[in-house]
Amino acid sequence: MVRLTTEARELSDYRRREESVSFSEETVVEGDRELLTLNIGPHHPATHGVLRLVVTMDGEIIRDVNPVIGYLHTGIEKTAEVKSYWKAIPVIERMDYLAYYFNGMGYCGAVEKLLGIEVPRRAQYLRVIHLELNRIMSHLVWLGTSMLDLGAISVWWYCFREREQLLDLFEMSSGQRMHTRYVQVGGVGEDIPPGWEEKVREFLAIMPERCEVYSDLLSKNEIFLQRMRGVCPMEAEVLRTLGVTGPLLRAAGDPWDLRKAMPYSSYDEFEFKIPIGTQGDNYDRYAVRLAEIKESVKIVEQALDGLPEGPYITEDRKVALPPRHELATSMEALIHHFKLVTEGMRVPEGEVYNAIEGPRGEYGVFIRSDGSSKPARVHMRDPSFINLQATPMLVEGSLLADMIATLAVMDPIIGGVDR
């Protein structure tokens, strides 16, 4: 029997693990052409996170892509099972780290459905305002970073300038720039502070104009157009069978948007359009997102105009903390506060699937409750995870450089993919 040295054993173990990664279905030599397997990532600036791509190429042409994920898996769903319902919100917000309001909204909406509680109208409007500001923020980060991948550096600075303004707004309303934990079960964490509305309106006044700036920088840029137009198109039907949702699907001409189709949180009270594309190529994906920013601005304006008075979180003391001033005078408030902070709320037994429209598509949350104060199972249908499945079909037959561009334009957030 041959005893392997430690070094050799490590090497063989490495080989064994690599063996199960299927590099390509095709033979290595195809006629007189040789296929090349290229590994990109997991740490590579163009992969937008810790994503690994095993690419099989014929010269410059992509024949097959195999995304290998899981490098950012942090077991958030498992962690949520040992936290009481409202203490799970912060970990869940950290999944799709560019859409934290959406994470919180999807999760809290699901818990509210299980509890059967009504969210006050002011809270619904405040949620909508923050969700749409978050959508703008997410699209700005997407625009800046993907154009960086195409070599357009200046637009990145402009996008992040506006994003900074948004993060300041988030900080003002919740105390945090990212992962704000603003959406709570039953409402929102805090009412908006004085002066916040004016600041939002200032931002809304400049944002459409700024969109024109991005558009001027990009839409008339010949290099940009050549890199985007007609690159990696896909029909809406194919995308639908792959489960792709959000701007990627709408760019292919399918106007499916949960905000319109199955409204939640008073989205039916706002006037807005759903931008769609015609070709389903990278240019349409860019144009749809840019148009969505403008629509989000309109929604926030309407929500600020019609912001109803009233409580910002449900009055149900079993679900929401009592206001601070009550603690000094009311024994009951103190008991409720104590019970909620130590044990958390008890949620009736049941299961629910709650879906909202995130910046990347349908963000769904499945919760199983066993009647205790901790969820028995939390599962996310993260749009990045589902959309990323379409990568091999999208980029097959395109150039390597176009694959990098397409991956950027697909906008997968690896925190959401790996959870």
Residue 341 in the binding site for another protein (CB under 8 A): no
Instruction: Give the shortest CB-21-to-another protein separation in angstroms.
Output: 8
Binding residue (CB under 8 A) for another protein from 94, 327, 350, 372: 350
Q: Helix (H, G, I), strand (E, B), or coil: what is residue 351?
A: strand
- Under 8 Å between Cβ of 267 and 125: no
- Closest alpha carbon to 252 in 230, 279, 291, 274: 279
Using CA atoms of 253, 256, 259, 263 in order, give the dihedral in degrees to the nearest 10. Answer: 150
Q: Helix (H, G, I), strand (E, B), or coil: what is residue 36?
A: strand
Residue type, 39: N
Residue 69 in the binding site for another protein (CB under 8 A): yes
Residue 346 in the binding site for another protein (CB under 8 A): no
Pick 81 or 190: Cβ nearer another protein = 81
Instruction: Give the shortest CB-259-to-another protein separation in angstroms.
Output: 13
- Under 8 Å between Cβ of 391 and 414: no
Q: Helix (H, G, I), strand (E, B), or coil: what is residue 228?
A: helix
**Which of the ranges 226-234, 239-247, 296-304, 402-410 carries the binding residues for another protein, by CB under 8 A?**
239-247
Pick 22 or 342: Cβ nearer another protein = 22
Binding residue (CB under 8 A) for another protein from 11, 12, 38, 75: 75
Pick 204 or 376: Cβ nearer another protein = 376
Pick 241 or 329: Cβ nearer another protein = 241
Binding residue (CB under 8 A) for another protein from 262, 310, 335, 371: 262
**Which of the ranges 55-63, 88-96, 241-249, 318-326 carries the binding residues for another protein, by CB under 8 A?**
241-249
Binding residue (CB under 8 A) for another protein from 281, 362, 402, 411: 362
Binding residue (CB under 8 A) for another protein from 5, 241, 329, 342: 241
Token pair for residue 308?
């109803």
Phi-psi sector, 364: left (phi>0), alpha (psi -120 to 50), beta: beta
Residue 52 in the binding site for another protein (CB under 8 A): no
Phi, psi of 12 (to 5 degrees): -65, -35
CA-based angle 52:56:58, to the nearest 5?
Answer: 145
- Under 8 Å between Cβ of 340 and 321: yes
Binding residue (CB under 8 A) for another protein from 35, 54, 65, 77: 77
Binding residue (CB under 8 A) for another protein from 310, 335, 389, 397: 389
Binding residue (CB under 8 A) for another protein from 154, 306, 332, 353: 353
Residue 288 in the binding site for another protein (CB under 8 A): no
Residue partners of 220: CB distance under 8 A and separation at least 6: none
Binding residue (CB under 8 A) for another protein from 177, 322, 381, 398: 381
Pick 36 or 262: Cβ nearer another protein = 262
Expressed in angstroms, the distance from the first to the final Cα of the chain is: 44
Binding residue (CB under 8 A) for another protein from 4, 8, 34, 78: 78
- Closest alpha carbon to 416 in 103, 146, 109: 103
Q: Helix (H, G, I), strand (E, B), or coil: what is residue 227?
A: helix
H/E element holding 373? none
Q: Helix (H, G, I), strand (E, B), or coil: what is residue 387?
A: helix
Binding residue (CB under 8 A) for another protein from 316, 366, 372, 398: 366
Query: HEC states along 46-105?
Result: HHCCECEEEEEEECCEEEEEEEECCCCCCCHHHHHCCCCHHHCHHHHHCCCCCCHHHHHH
Residue 264 in the binding site for another protein (CB under 8 A): no
CA distance 200 to 301: 9
**Which of the ranges 39-47, 49-57, 379-387, 404-412 carries the binding residues for another protein, by CB under 8 A?**
379-387
Instruction: Give the shortest CB-106-to-another protein separation in angstroms.
Output: 12
Q: Which residues bind another protein (CB under 8 A)?
A: 6, 9-10, 13, 16-17, 20-22, 69-70, 73, 75, 77-79, 81-82, 113-114, 116, 240-243, 256, 261-262, 350-353, 355, 362, 364, 366, 368, 376-377, 379, 381, 385-386, 388-389, 418-419
